[in-house]
Structure 1
Amino acid sequence: MSATTASVAEFIASQTRLATVPFVPEVRLHLADEAIALWERTESEKGEIGLPPPFWAFAWAGGQAVARYVLDQPGTVAGRRVLDLAAGSGLVSIAAALSGAASVTAAEIDEYAVTAIALNAAANDVTVDARCADLLDGDGAPAEVVLAGDVFYERGMAQRVLPFLQRARERGALVLVGDPGRAYLPRERFTEIASYRVPVIADLEDSAVKTSVVWQLS
């Protein structure tokens, strides 16, 4: 572990606690108890404004839905190469690994998230290849299953994510997306395969429970 990575890991550990995910109790993550103050501390720690917020410190509703589905339906990923896009804490990646995926790659553009994913994978005794990389100009190859939790939260992100997911689907990958009703999800492109009532942090959402759907790209 490099000095830089070590300092990031120390910051993550100091701002979170290792806890069971309520809706996915098979998984433990380094989670923050509050949101706004951590946003501010993360900007201070990184030394500049405008870098990715600490998405890695929370179990987002869409990711919890995908993780729950994968654990309940392990045949979705068992023996297959899996890509977890915009992986955040790595919750979905860990669920895939626990469900018998042949390999799991977690892609993130935030070095803090990549470090958090590594810490979380170790805490759950699974192997996840966490990469700091923007993959959205490609098609996710060679992954046979592409999973994405809560990626349609803003217009710009949606405009890049959807073509990526379409290219992955066109080359034959199974594409599943978890979404708690974000405005930019093009529902007409997807088929609903599961729905859950997921507990969330009220500071991050408009309620303490969100109906979160797992969608399959048609």
Structure 2
Amino acid sequence: MTPIWRLTEEELGEMGLPPPFWAFAWAGGQGLARWLLDNPSEVAGKRVLDFAAGSGLVGIAAMKAGAASAVCADIDPFCGAAVARNAAANGVTVSFSAADLLDAPPPGAEVICAGDVFYEQPMAGRVLAWLQRARDQGSRVLVGDPLRTYFPKEGFDLLAEYAVPTTRELEDSAVKRTRVWTLSAPA
């Protein structure tokens, strides 16, 4: 782990708070943000939800690509401050929600983006079911993932692949082959 992660995790752990996952631009989010910037027509003029937003990287990229609005949602309340600071630094406005969106029907966003959400088995199953409901309601679902352990092997169409520089302190390699996917239409 990076020294800042280790120190922050130790201090937060003493306070009973979760580790600062939001403090890093994970490979899946980086790939998805790059894809949105390369393909602005996917979000231009649309309402976007950046699910499990962390620091807001994908929502900010959506706004820079011309989205009408972006909501960055993450259950870690510390993300709100990170999202606000990062949005301001990038000259865009996004909103933030700390609600656990998986406990309710998906919102009516035209595009739902999810970067690096398939890293734990229980969460992966809940997220996939929720994203499928969102797709069935008419949302375009975009996922950035470097083939994490619990990424579903079926049901997604590949849109792009990027070599994303990472740090060996966070990942198992210095470069992650990150893919951007869309949730396939039901068979």
User: What TM-score, normalized to structure 1?
Assistant: 0.80
> Which of 24, 41, 44 does residue 78 from structure 1 map onto?
44
Matched letter for residue 203 of structure 1: E
| Aligned counterpart, 2:104 | 138
| Aligned counterpart, 1:17 | none
> Which of 50, 58, 65 does residue 99 from structure 1 map onto?
65
Runs of 4+ off more than 2 Å: 34-43, 45-49, 137-140
Q: Secondary structure at the match of 1:153?
A: coil
Which runs of structure 2 are paired with 1:53-202 in the superposition (5 Å)? 53-202=19-168
* CA distances 1:77-105 after superposition (whole Å, capped 9, x unpaired): 00000000000111001000001101100
Q: What fraction of aligned residue pairs are identical, expressed as a percent?
A: 58
| Aligned counterpart, 1:211 | 177
User: What TM-score, normalized to structure 2?
Assistant: 0.93
Matched letter for residue 37 of structure 2: L
How far apart are the structure 1 equivalents of 2:6 and 2:130? 28
* CA distances 1:48-97 after superposition (whole Å, capped 9, x unpaired): 33x33211211110000100000000000000000000001110010000
State the shift of 1:181 in Å. 1.4
State the shift of 1:43 in Å. 4.5
Give aligned pairs, total.
184
**Does 1:44 pair with 2:11?**
yes
How far apart are the structure 2 equivalents of 1:46 and 1:118? 24
Gaps of 5+ in 1: 1-33
